[in-house]
Structure formats: structure tokens, C-alpha cells
């Protein structure tokens, strides 16, 4: 495992964003896929890089960035690491479009220098999952919410204990473009959620899945876990590994 220093997306909108340290888990076998994994609110890339490094997925390179430290409305303006501002952790909350776009651009930039024969994906937990789903929407539309072109091709998106931001406008965007509808229908997305999640309610997961399906994202796999709260368990991560191996056609060998 290695890491990069902090990076920024100066000039994105009116806000200069200073991101934290990015941790890299190198593939132990033939490099077939690269996945950016996004941590939850108040966390950092280090904790997830250690977990991902323990998975039996030798053909994946993991990039685990750390979000910028910013005031978070849900915490009364207290600053912590966050991919965007949030006041209500649900599909009904106000959408920080500028923050979501800035993070999506940072993620795309991390993937932009990967080899052309390597498949690209984005995954995350909680707020990181929400940012991953926003990236999925940007990929389908071919552009960010601010209309700047989305620069990479995604092959897989994973949401653990997350929710879909910008859900109120997603369907109208995919319905007005044949290209968006085609991309949406062919992008594999895995959503996993605990039925007793006390932070992001299970109902938010169900509504997110419904909105994605109604917006043309048809390649969905929704897995629920009885007794699971707002955390992950080995069974869930094993399911993530099996899903990635199947959808990305990984060797599962070194």
C-alpha cells in the first residue's frame, strides 16, 4: 500500500477544495480493474484501504482518497471530512450540487490516468456511496450537473449503506437523451443496505433503487442484510467481491 499527498481542484466553480491523503492498494495479480473507494462522513481513506487490501481480489487496484475537511450543516457547521455538504442524510435532503460535482470531478481525475485496457469503477460507504451514485448519474448523462463533460467510462458502481442524491431530477435527465438512456441501462450497479441502519434508513435505500430503475438504470442488484446497522460485515464484503468478479470478468487468480 502507498499513498499520495493532498490534492486540490482549484478553479472548480467558486470553491477551492483541498483533499486529504490518497491511499493506493496495488493489485497483487494481473491488473484488470481500478476502483476508487470513498469513505463515509468524518472518516478517511486509510481505514478502507486496509479492509480492501484484505479481500481476495488480486486483480483490482484500489484508490482510497480522503475527502476535504469542510463545515457540515448536519453537524451545526462543525468541520469534518465530507465529500459534500449535507443537512439531512436522506434522498429528501438539500443537494449540494457544487460539492457533489467537485468530488465527482476529483474521482474522475484519479481514474483518468489508468491504462486503457483496465476497467474503471467507483464504490463507497454512506456519504461515499452517495458520491459514487452521483458519479454514476454523471457518467450516464455524459456531463456533470454544471454541464462540464464527464471524462471517463465506468464499468461498475457500488453503494454500501448509501442514498441517491439529486433524485428529484434524475429521471428527466435520462429521458431526454438516447445516449444517457443507453449508458444508464448498461451500467452495473450494486446497492447493499442493512435493514436496521440507524443513520441512513433502509427506506432510503429502497427509494434510491426505485428512482434508479425508473430513470433507466436497469442493471441493478439490490442486496439487503437482516440485523445489519450502519457498518459493513464480512458477508457483505464477500458479496461485493463476488459481484465485482462476475461483472468485471476478473480472473480471481494471481
Could you tell me if residue 42 is inside a domain? yes
DSSP SS3 for 67: coil
C-alpha cell at 157: 458502481
Whether 148 contacts 113, CB under 8 Å:
no
Closest CA to 133 of 198, 44, 193, 57: 193
Q: How many CB atoms lie within 10 A of CB 33?
A: 23
The torsion angles phi and psi of 82, rounded to 5 degrees, stand at: -155, 140
> What's the DSSP call for residue 149?
B
Q: Provide the pLDDT for residue 12.
A: 43
Rounded Cα distance, 184 and 49, in Å: 29
CATH number of the domain bearing residue 227: 3.40.50.1820
Alpha helices by DSSP H, the chain: 45-53, 97-111, 127-141, 167-175, 178-186, 202-214, 234-248
Could you tell me if residue 186 is inside a domain? yes
Could you tell me if residue 73 is inside a domain? yes
C-alpha cell at 142: 455524459
Q: What angle do CA 94, 85, 43 make, to 5 degrees?
A: 135
The reported pTM is 0.92
C-alpha cell at 183: 449508458
Could you tell me if residue 178 is inside a domain? yes
The label of the residue with cell 484500489 reads 62
Whether 80 shows a pLDDT value over 80: the answer reads yes
Could you tell me if residue 181 is inside a domain? yes
Residue 95 CA, chain-centre distance (Å), reads 16
Whether 9 shows a pLDDT value over 70: the answer reads no
Q: Can you name the residues that pair with 124 across neighbouring β-strands? A: 38, 159
Average pLDDT score over residue span 60-68: 98
Instruction: Encode pLDDT of 100-157 as tens digits.
Output: 999 999 999 999 999 999 999 999 999 999 999 999 999 999 999 898 999 999 999 9
Rounded Cα distance, 85 and 97, in Å: 9
Name the residue range of residue 213's domain.
18-245
Could you tell me if residue 117 is inside a domain? yes
Confidence of residue 14 (pLDDT cuts 50, 70, 90): very low
Q: How many CB atoms lie within 10 A of CB 174?
A: 23
Could you tell me if residue 23 is inside a domain? yes
Rounded Cα distance, 132 and 142, in Å: 15
Q: What is the dihedral of CA 126, 130, 136, 138, to 10 degrees?
A: -150
Could you tell me if residue 34 is inside a domain? yes
| C-alpha pair distances (Å), 190 with each of 12, 15, 24, 62 | 29, 31, 23, 17
Q: Tell me how many domains the chain contains.
A: 1
In this prediction, what percent of the chain has a pLDDT beyond 70?
92
Of 19-23, 205-209, 250-254, least confident by mean pLDDT is 250-254
Whether 150 contacts 138, CB under 8 Å:
yes
> What's the DSSP call for residue 197?
-
Amino acid at each position: 500500500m502507498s499513498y499520495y499527498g493532498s490534492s486540490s481542484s482549484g478553479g472548480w466553480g467558486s470553491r477551492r477544495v483541498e483533499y486529504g491523503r490518497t491511499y493506493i492498494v496495488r493489485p497483487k495479480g494481473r491488473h484488470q480493474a481500478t476502483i476508487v473507494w470513498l469513505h463515509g462522513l468524518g472518516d478517511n481513506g486509510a481505514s478502507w484501504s486496509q479492509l480492501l487490501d484484505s479481500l481476495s481480489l488480486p486483480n483490482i487496484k484500489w484508490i482510497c482518497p480522503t475527502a476535504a475537511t469542510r463545515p457540515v450543516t448536519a453537524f451545526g457547521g462543525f468541520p469534518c471530512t465530507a465529500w459534500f455538504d449535507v443537512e439531512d442524510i436522506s434522498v429528501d435532503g438539500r443537494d449540494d450540487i457544487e460539492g457533489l460535482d467537485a468530488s465527482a470531478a476529483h474521482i474522475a481525475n484519479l481514474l483518468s490516468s489508468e491504462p486503457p485496457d483496465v476497467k474503471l469503477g467507483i464504490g463507497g460507504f454512506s456519504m461515499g456511496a452517495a458520491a459514487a451514485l452521483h458519479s454514476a448519474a454523471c457518467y450516464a448523462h455524459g456531463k456533470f450537473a454544471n454541464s462540464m463533460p464527464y471524462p471517463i467510462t465506468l464499468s461498475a458502481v457500488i453503494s454500501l449503506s448509501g442514498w441517491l442524491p439529486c433524485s428529484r431530477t434524475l429521471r428527466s435527465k435520462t429521458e431526454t437523451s438516447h445516449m444517457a438512456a443507453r449508458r444508464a441501462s448498461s451500467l452495473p450497479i450494486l446497492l447493499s443496505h442493512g435493514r436496521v441502519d440507524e443513520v441512513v434508513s433502509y427506506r432510503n435505500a429502497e427509494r434510491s433503487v426505485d428512482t434508479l430503475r425508473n430513470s433507466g438504470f436497469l442493471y441493478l442488484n439490490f442486496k439487503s442484510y437482516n440485523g445489519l446497522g450502519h457498518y459493513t460485515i464480512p458477508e457483505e464484503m464477500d458479496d461485493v467481491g463476488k459481484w465485482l468478479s462476475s461483472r468485471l470478468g476478473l480472473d480471481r487468480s494471481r
